[in-house]
Amino acid sequence: MRGRSRGGMWWIAAAAVVFGVAVALAVAPVARRPPSTYQRVVAIASQLRCPVCSGESAASSDTVQAIAMRREIARELAAGRSTHQILAGFVAQYGTWILTRPPHHGAYTLLWLAPVLSVSVVTVLVVRYLRLRSVRRPADADALAGGQTGAPQDGGDAERRLARYL
C-alpha cells in the first residue's frame, strides 16, 4: 500500500508542475510588436468626430472629409507627431466639438458631472418628500382620534385615542 501512495503522489506532483508551467506561459507577457501605422490612424481617428456625419467618428465614416482626416493623420504620424499633437491640431482647426469625448477640465467638467449631480439632487428630493409625507403631526393624530385637538388631560384619554387610531 505504501508503494502505491508514493506512486500516486508522484503523478499528482508531476501534473501540478506541468499545470504550473502551462499557467506561467499563458500569463507571461508576450513580446508585442508596436501598432502599425494603420492601427494608430484608426485609434486617433476614432477620437475625432466626422465633420459631416451626425454621431460618427472619423474612423467609421466613409465621407470625403473623414477620409481626408485619416490621410492627414497618417501624414502627421509619418512626420513624427504624437497623438496629443495631432488631436491638438484638429481641435485648433475645428474646435473642441471635434473630439468624441470632451476634455476633463474647465467648463467641460460640468458635462461629466451633470448626470451624477442630477441623480443626486433627484434622490435627495424624493427622500425628503417621502419623509415629510410619512411624518404625522400630533394635531393630525388628534383629528383622526375623534376630532379633538390639543394635549390630552389625563393618561386614559390618550390611551383611548391611541387605541382608536390603531
CATH classification of the domain holding 89: 1.10.8.640
Residues 122 and 138 reside in one and the same domain: yes
- 78 Cβ contact list (under 8 Å, min separation 6): 37
pLDDT tens-digit series, residues 110-163: 777 788 889 999 999 998 888 888 775 555 555 555 555 555 455 567 777 777
Tell whether 103 is covered by a domain. no
Q: Is 91 exposed, middle or buried (0-12, 13-18, 19+ CB in 10 A)?
A: middle
Indicate if 134 and 119 belong to the same structural domain: yes
| Cα(56)–Cα(111) distance, integer angstroms | 20
Q: How far apart are CA 118 and CA 99, in angstroms?
A: 24
pLDDT tens for each residue of 55-79: 899 999 999 999 999 999 999 999 9
Mean pLDDT of all residues in the chain?
A: 80
Asked if residue 52 is part of any domain, the answer here is yes
Question: 47, 78, 98 — which closes off a domain?
Answer: 98
Q: End of a domain among 77, 98, 119?
A: 98
| Position 105 confidence tier, pLDDT thresholds 50, 70, 90 | low
Dump pLDDT digits (tens) for 25-38.
Answer: 777 666 677 888 99
108 CB-near residues (< 8 Å, 6+ apart): 96, 102
Q: Which residues pair with 57 in a beta bridge?
A: 49
pLDDT of 91 higher than 90: yes
Q: What total number of domains does the chain contain? A: 3
pLDDT at position 73: 96
In eight-state DSSP terms, residue 99 is B
Does one domain contain both 127 and 86? Answer: no
**Predicted local confidence at residue 50, as pLDDT:** 92
Rounded CA separation 87/98 (Å): 9
| Residues 73, 58 share a domain | yes
Same domain for 161 and 114: yes
Domain range spanning residue 15?
1-32
* pLDDT at site 1: 46
Residue 46 pLDDT greater than 80, yes or no: yes
> Do 69 and 119 fall within a single domain?
no
Is residue 45 in a domain? Answer: yes
Range of lowest pLDDT (10-24, 44-58, 146-160): 146-160
Closest CA to 45 of 82, 87, 84: 87
Query: Does 152 reside within a domain?
Result: yes
Domain identity same for 23 and 42 = no
Judge if 120 and 72 occupy the same domain. no
Is residue 92 domain-shared with residue 138, that is, in the same domain? no
